[in-house]
């Protein structure tokens, strides 16, 4: 049984590793040259993309920014999950905002900017603190600008002057002050079965996710209910099939949606060790219409991204509950090279283990780790 994934990065790799035991062969499409590769060792496979689409029982994506022409071909097979529409909503912030508005799902106050002249009004509409994002290809802190005071507007306009806003509009969002970012990852299969992982709390630094903790500390039933309600509204409207990640900001006891990722997500990597069934296995189960696996957390987990750092002291393997996961990539600044999952029986024990880890890691690459350990120790 073959599943074809568009994209051959670490998410495709982890889908492949989850597939082998289930007897599912996960092959990847290199979206640049359209070749079919083994997503683990990148060894080329001989079949054409067309043949691979024919051979696959299901098609899916590891990232939403797949070229539209490729997605259309995938969609034409009738085997693409989630759907073309769902993937495009994840890829295009204009579609995403319109979708959230249509479903009356709380999200950040925003304006869609299709003409430069609209920028003159953003302070009046949204206040002095605004984050501006390209509608397409905004990813991990790239293609974003910040307005921190009205006086910066002329400079910002100058920076944006060359952009073709008719082709790629901007989204201007009110910067909100929030307690924390939470993400809800869940899945729905074609029979409509829906299941959720516990909410994870995500800690960013310079626009990149550094640490996720799951279940998020200090969860209330009310927060979980809100998040699951939002998730269910989305997947039912879209007749969504697959894993979906919903990133949200917590403001008081309210949640507003930041963005949607129509795929397995970095904030769900903890599930490989901290949940009965990982998000990768559940993605495969969902797109193949198999029963979803248990998503409850059997431990408390932290997922620590390894970013821009190519090697780790082997003593890390001796820290109780630590599991190293490399993606097999060449090191570059800011590149996600792997992650470390840490499982524990309590937040206090998790804090201890993160602290022990921090003593072994080059902290310039792990700038929030000590602070996270401290914060968890206080839970």
**Per the annotation, where are the binding residues for ATP?**
93, 133, 138-144, 173-176, 181, 204, 258-259
Q: Give the chain's length.
A: 379
Query: How many CA atoms does the CB half-sphere of 148 hold within 13 Å?
Result: 0
- Contact between 347 and 217 (Cβ < 8 Å): yes
Q: Closer to its own copies at the Cβ: 107 or 341? A: 341
Cα dist from 92 to 169, 184, 186, 222, 233, whole Å: 10, 20, 21, 30, 19
Cα end-to-end span (Å), the chain: 45
> Cα(280)–Cα(297) distance, rounded to whole angstroms?
15
Q: Does 179 interact with its own copies (rule: CB under 8 A)?
A: no
From the CB of 119, what's the least distance to its own copies, in Å? 46
Binding mask 69-108 for its own copies (x = CB under 8 A): ----------------------------------------
Binding mask 28-67 for its own copies (x = CB under 8 A): ----------x-xx-x------------------------
Cα dist from 254 to 98, 140, 225, 280, whole Å: 21, 25, 11, 29
What part of residues 4-33 is at the interface with its own copies (CB under 8 A)? 13, 17, 20-23, 25
Q: Closer to its own copies at the Cβ: 21 or 166? A: 21
Q: What are the two backbone dihedrals, phi and then psi, of residue 240, each rounded to the nearest 5 degrees? A: -70, 135
Fill in the DSSP letter of residue 237. Answer: H
Q: Closer to its own copies at the Cβ: 39 or 90? A: 39
Fill in the DSSP letter of residue 79. Answer: -
Q: Does 192 interact with its own copies (rule: CB under 8 A)?
A: no
Q: Closer to its own copies at the Cβ: 175 or 324? A: 324
Q: Does 338 interact with its own copies (rule: CB under 8 A)?
A: yes
> Cα(179)–Cα(370) distance, rounded to whole angstroms?
19
Residue with tokens 């900017």: 113
From the CB of 373, what's the least distance to its own copies, in Å? 20
| Pairing of the two strands 36-37 and 200-205 | unpaired
Size of the residue set binding its own copies (CB under 8 A): 32
**From the list 65, 81, 110, 285, which residue makes contact with its own copies (rule: CB under 8 A)?**
285
Q: Is 177 exposed, middle or buried (0-12, 13-18, 19+ CB in 10 A)?
A: exposed
Q: Closer to its own copies at the Cβ: 237 or 315? A: 315
What part of residues 291-330 is at the interface with its own copies (CB under 8 A)? 291, 293-294, 298, 314-315, 317-318, 320-321, 323-326, 328
Q: Closer to its own copies at the Cβ: 132 or 187? A: 187
What are the residues binding its own copies (CB under 8 A)?
Answer: 13, 17, 20-23, 25, 38, 40-41, 43, 276-277, 285, 290-291, 293-294, 298, 314-315, 317-318, 320-321, 323-326, 328, 338, 343
């Amino acid at each position: 049984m073959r599943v074809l994934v568009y994209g051959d990065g670490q998410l495709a790799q982890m889908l492949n590793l989850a597939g082998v035991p289930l007897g599912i062969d996960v092959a990847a499409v290199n979206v640049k040259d359209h070749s079919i590769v083994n997503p683990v060792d990148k060894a080329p496979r001989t079949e054409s993309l067309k043949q691979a689409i024919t051979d696959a029982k299901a098609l899916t994506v590891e990232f939403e920014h797949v070229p539209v022409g490729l997605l259309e071909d995938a969609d034409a097979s009738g085997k693409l999950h989630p759907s073309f529409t769902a993937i495009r909503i994840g890829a295009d912030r204009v579609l995403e905002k319109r979708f959230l508005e249509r479903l009356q799902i709380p999200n950040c106050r925003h304006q869609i900017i299709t003409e430069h002249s609209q920028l003159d009004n953003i302070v009046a509409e949204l206040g002095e603190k605004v984050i501006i994002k390209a509608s397409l290809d905004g990813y991990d802190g790239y293609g974003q600008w910040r307005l921190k005071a009205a006086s910066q507007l002329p400079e910002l306009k100058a920076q944006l002057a060359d952009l073709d806003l008719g082709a790629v509009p901007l989204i201007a969002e009110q910067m909100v002050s929030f307690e924390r970012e939470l993400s809800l990852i869940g899945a729905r299969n074609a029979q409509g079965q829906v299941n959720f992982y516990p909410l994870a709390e995500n800690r960013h630094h310079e626009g990149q996710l550094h640490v996720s903790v799951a279940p998020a500390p200090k969860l209330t039933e009310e927060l979980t209910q809100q998040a699951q309600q939002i998730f269910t509204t989305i997947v039912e409207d879209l007749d969504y099939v697959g894993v979906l990640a919903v990133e949200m900001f917590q403001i008081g006891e309210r949640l507003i949606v930041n963005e949607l990722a129509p795929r397995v997500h970095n904030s769900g990597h903890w599930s490989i060790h901290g949940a009965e069934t990982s998000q990768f296995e559940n993605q495969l189960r969902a797109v193949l219409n198999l029963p979803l696996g248990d998503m409850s957390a059997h431990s408390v987990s932290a997922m620590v991204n390894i970013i821009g750092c190519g090697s780790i002291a082997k003593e890390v393997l001796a820290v109780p509950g630590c599991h190293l996961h490399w993606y097999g990539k060449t090191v570059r600044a800011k590149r996600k090279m792997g992650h470390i999952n840490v499982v524990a029986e309590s937040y206090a024990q998790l804090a201890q283990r993160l602290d022990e880890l921090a003593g072994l890691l080059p902290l310039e690459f792990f700038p929030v780790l000590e602070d996270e350990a401290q914060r968890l120790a206080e839970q």
